[in-house]
Structure 1
Amino acid sequence: MKANMKEETRFAQSDGLTSSIVFLVENRKLYASKEVLALCSPVFRNMFESDFRERLADCIPLPGKCYKELVEFLLCLYPDTQKPLSDETVFPIFSLADEYQVDILLHKCEDYLLSKCNDKNTPMTALVNILICAEQYNLKKLFNAAFDRVSKIHPDDVKSVPEYVKLHEDTRKTFKKLREQALDVNLTDGNVHDVLRIAVDYNEKDLINKCENHMIQRCKKTEKPLIHGLVSMLSAADKHKLTKLKEEVLELAIKRKSHELEASPIFKNLAPETSRKVLSKRLKVFEGLYSKLCKVRCHCCRKHADYNCKICFISTTKECFDSLGMCF
């Protein structure tokens, strides 16, 4: 918990006007404003207004408190500083804000931690600590946000976090139950994409492979996928880096009509490299098709195809398309 020199000395000595109360923390004096504290905290207000001995004391001891943490707490609280929270300060400040019932800081801390839950780069250890904090202070919104992130971490990984054992036993049991429910599913053509998304969220490699193999087998069936299903599989392969599936779907995609592929909204959302690959592969097939057509004998005159003749053109072209399994 780092603070610059000015911040460290901010409450180390009296400045006359705003130093109306003195606390003793870790054998060090901390000078603060009774008015600011009373305004923000009902606990401090009660302390100063009641008949407690602290009301008239020259120096009020705060046993068990950390001097640096109290300084950070006051720097965040005081209107002239309003120091931003950090990953290092948020939990101790949250604890002090809860103890002294400083609502403005409680909301500030909760919002900060919610933003960390929404940040994909937040470390696993931090997410577990946020969940523990949400449990401790019964913060439902924060609990749900942290729970959603932690529940999708592989059990072997999350259990390696030392703080994991501090989570309530019911929370850990719910993790296990939800994971089992999410992963225990019979794959069908109708649910495979939803299951794949869940498998990726939960980093469940075996289930990801199972989904990939299911879609590969679907491509190999006699009844080929419709355009929407075909492009959906190509999109899934693209998004989740499923190389085997991508190769299989590409072989089918290049045999479909270009205008049908490009008419699909999903095709338009593919990575540019993937859509270009489909169309360029299809172009190469047509180049080979043209070469083949030039060598084919005409069905009606048994000479080289005469494309001024409609019969020649239709019959020979269809024959070549059929031989490649392409739509004519």
Structure 2
Amino acid sequence: MSSSQDIQSDTSKSENNVNDDPDLKEFDFMIKSAWTDLELEVEGKTLYVARSFLAMISPVFRRMFKSELKEKEAKSINLPDKKYEDVLTFLQCMIPWASVKVTNENILQILPLAHEYQIAGLLTDCCNCLMQQLSLNCNAVKCCEICLLANQYDLQNVIEKCIARFWNISSAQYRDLELFNTIPLAIRYRALYARLQVMDTKLK
């Protein structure tokens, strides 16, 4: 057997071991284990995590644990402005073998936390989810909602996609749409200017 086949075989065994391990398969941050050394208190409930895990996935937590803030040595951190289900879903999405992924149903739970804690990979997943929604022939209302969300969390690629999407939506759909008027003026200008450019091209 070649070395590449050996590697593939070892990788396959490793993946099977992870998927077959009941402790890993059912892991949901709600059970204290030997490797958890930090508790997150959310809405009176406790989530158990490893400080090293948070430090690896988030530059925000990394800075927090390196600083002289009280969280550096704390055994428990309170998150008073968060919802328990949101934080749980957010954490589960970052486990490679977890079945929880970013979807249309949970993106509003995950995106604010991914942005706050600067989780690059999770932000990419959120962007891909929104891009997919935009590709499914969404109407003016949906496009506006996604554009506002993308602007709130500085998702520039999604904003660009929204602007392009407005080219294919009849102006009658958003001419008197109040939601469209809540989009920042600079984005509205770009969307309307891009539409004019498309019209000019067609007239040539």
Would you call these one fold, judging by a TM-score over 0.5? yes
Give the aligned partner of residue 185 of structure 2: 169
Give, in angstroms, the shift of residue 90 of structure 1: 1.9
Cα-Cα RMSD? 3.0
Q: 5+ unaligned residues in a row in structure 2: which ranges?
A: 1-24
Greater RCO, CA 8 A, separation 6+: 2
The superposition leaves residues 232-276 of structure 1 with CA deviations (integer Å, 9 ceiling, x where unpaired) of xxxxxxxxxxxxxxxxxxxxxxxxxxxxxxxxxxxxxxxxxxxxx
SS at match of 1:77: coil
Which residue, 97, 106, 115 being the options, matches 1:89? 106
Give, in angstroms, the shift of residue 40 of structure 1: 0.7
Give, in angstroms, the shift of residue 162 of structure 1: 6.1
Change (3 A) 1:17 1:82: farther
Change (3 A) 1:151 1:171: farther
Structure 1-normalised TM-score? 0.47
Give the aligned partner of residue 11 of structure 2: none
Give the aligned partner of residue 18 of structure 2: none
Structure 2-normalised TM-score? 0.72
Change (3 A) 1:55 1:162: farther
Q: What aligned pairs does 1:72-83 form with structure 2 within 5 A after superposition? A: 72-81=89-98, 83=100
Q: Does 1:59 align with 2:76?
A: yes
> Partners in 2 of 1:132 and 1:8 — Cα distance?
36
> Partners in 2 of 1:10 and 1:161 — Cα distance?
42
The superposition leaves residues 194-234 of structure 1 with CA deviations (integer Å, 9 ceiling, x where unpaired) of 46xxxxxxxxxxxxxxxxxxxxxxxxxxxxxxxxxxxxxxx
Q: Does 1:11 align with 2:29?
A: yes
Q: Does 1:24 align with 2:41?
A: yes
Change (3 A) 1:47 1:132: same
> Partners in 1 of 2:166 and 2:26 — Cα distance?
36
> Partners in 2 of 1:30 and 1:97 — Cα distance?
17
Give, in angstroms, the shift of residue 50 of structure 1: 2.4
The superposition leaves residues 37-86 of structure 1 with CA deviations (integer Å, 9 ceiling, x where unpaired) of 11111111222232211123232111211211111111111223162211
Change (3 A) 1:73 1:151: same
Give the aligned partner of residue 115 of structure 1: 132
SS at match of 2:30: coil
Give the aligned partner of residue 106 of structure 1: 123
Q: Does 1:141 align with 2:157?
A: yes
Query: Contact (CA 8 Å) 1:150, 1:158: kept in 2 or not?
Result: no
Identity %: 27
Q: 5+ unaligned residues in a row in structure 1: which ranges?
A: 1-6, 186-190, 196-328
Query: Contact (CA 8 Å) 2:127, 2:157: kept in 1 or not?
Result: no
Structure possessing the higher radius of gyration over alpha carbons: 1
